[in-house]
Amino acid sequence: MAGSMTSDRSRIGGGNGAGPLILTEDVELLDDLLRLCAAAGAEPQVHHSVPERKGCWEDAPMILVGDDAAARCRGATRRRGVLLVGRDQDDPGVWRRAVEIGADCVLRLPDAESWLVDRIADAAEGVGRPALTVGVIGGRGGAGASTLACALAVTAARAGRRTMLVDADPLGGGLDVVLGGEQAEGRRWPDFAASKGRVAGGALEESLPRLHELRVLSWDRGDSVVIQPEAMRSVLAAARRRGGVVVVDLPRRVDEAVAEALAQLDLGLLVVPAELRAVAAAGRVASLAGMVLRDLRVVVRGPYAAGLDERWIADALRLPLVGEVPLEPGLPESQDGGAPPGSRARGPLAAFCTAFWERALAGDGSVTP
């Protein structure tokens, strides 16, 4: 029996994302799946068996096949994203049915509800390859980490990449100020401080200020707000699901929320001024960050003290060297005039950042400009 169910239950209120294709005649199971779709913000299509309309099966972002409908799905085009769902924990024939329809996995409710909500939400958002996420940390105060973070984000956005810049340093003064957008409308960290569970990536992106073709999550000018580790985890996970690149400006102090941010980085850049005391301070920062971060590398900033060079500094810290951040004449004056770091496309800072992204995004594991 083919056909669709057109009751209001298949129209989930408040959902904007394209949801999964549900195939079942089990009313109780359908109620469960519709509830999970609503929790994920997705609006599903509901059918008794494989739809006759061309492309409906093939183009659905995800297919949830009830145990009762598995036999009716035999012979359907094999594809990824088919899940066999039921409630009988002791059904001995479930794996045979899963193989017959080419299911990716077998889910039993209610045990798998949380996992399934996340997968439905991913499908509704059209999740693909996660964003390359790069954190920037100062080896000491005033090292220039925020400047480099902004320049990396500005150059990535100028190259047409989806870009989000996250200010994870509550005492840094706000990266929206560095970008000249402190008056721009949009949400700031205090709006997400109590976030728990899943944050929708699309909703996060659309809610943030758009400055210089990138999205910025920064701080407001109000009292200091403590970001809970759960909020940091949820927000960065949402940012990563949107793809492109995410740049995170991190404080040198590693608390629980910063540890959550470090855990989601693909790569960390430790900005170290070429001074002996800065190298000593950077060693302590590297020791703390390295307890969580898998890949931490050094970026050196001149001018150089006598006897130091970038290779000596990297060796002293026992970290891979990315390169030297070049000095850019007139950068403070440009910032005072509203031009963010990296905005001069032919400037040395933009050239450094462009070379960094070309290597980092090439997929060969090399990020040395």
Taking the CA atoms of 272, 276, 279 and 280 in sequence, report the sign of the dihedral they define: negative
pLDDT at 281: 97
| Rounded percentage of the chain residues whose pLDDT exceeds 90 | 69
pLDDT at 241: 86
3-state secondary structure of 181: coil
pLDDT digits (tens, 9 = 90+) for 126-156: 766 789 999 999 999 999 999 999 999 999 9
- What contacts 328, CB < 8 A, 6 or more positions away? 341, 344, 347, 348, 349
In which residue are the tokens 């706000």 written?
174
Helix H segments across the chain? 27-40, 56-59, 94-101, 113-125, 145-158, 175-178, 201-207, 229-241, 256-263, 276-289, 310-317, 331-336, 348-360
Order of strands, sheet of 42-47, starting from the edge strand that comes earlier in the sequence: 42-47, 17-23, 63-66, 82-86, 105-108
Q: Both tokens of residue 129?
A: 């390859």
Q: Is the pLDDT of residue 365 over 80?
A: no
pLDDT at 329: 84
pLDDT digits (tens, 9 = 90+) for 83-95: 999 998 888 899 9
Radius of gyration (C-alpha) of the chain in whole angstroms: 25
pLDDT at 334: 78
In this prediction, residues 51-66 reach a mean pLDDT of 93
* Prediction pTM value: 0.74
pLDDT digits (tens, 9 = 90+) for 105-118: 999 999 999 889 88
pLDDT digits (tens, 9 = 90+) for 166-222: 999 988 889 999 998 988 999 999 999 888 777 888 889 999 999 999 999 999 888
C-alpha closest to that of 131 among 104, 178, 166, 158: 166
Strand 214-217 to strand 210-211: parallel, antiparallel, or no bridges (unpaired)? antiparallel
Burial of 333 (0-12, 13-18, 19+ CB in 10 A): exposed
In this prediction, residues 286-290 reach a mean pLDDT of 95
Neighbour tally for 245: CB within 10 Å: 26
pLDDT at 4: 34
C-alpha closest to that of 368 among 336, 335, 320: 320
Any idea what DSSP says for residue 169? -
Q: Both tokens of residue 262?
A: 């470090």
| Mean pLDDT, all residues of the chain | 89
Neighbour tally for 231: CB within 10 Å: 20
Q: Both tokens of residue 5?
A: 């169910």
Give the integer Cα–Cα distance in Å for 61 and 74: 19
pLDDT digits (tens, 9 = 90+) for 151-162: 999 999 999 999
Bridge partners, 64 (sequence order): 22, 83
More confident residue, 228 or 338: 228
CA 131, distance to chain mean position in Å, is 5
| Rounded percentage of the chain residues whose pLDDT exceeds 70 | 92
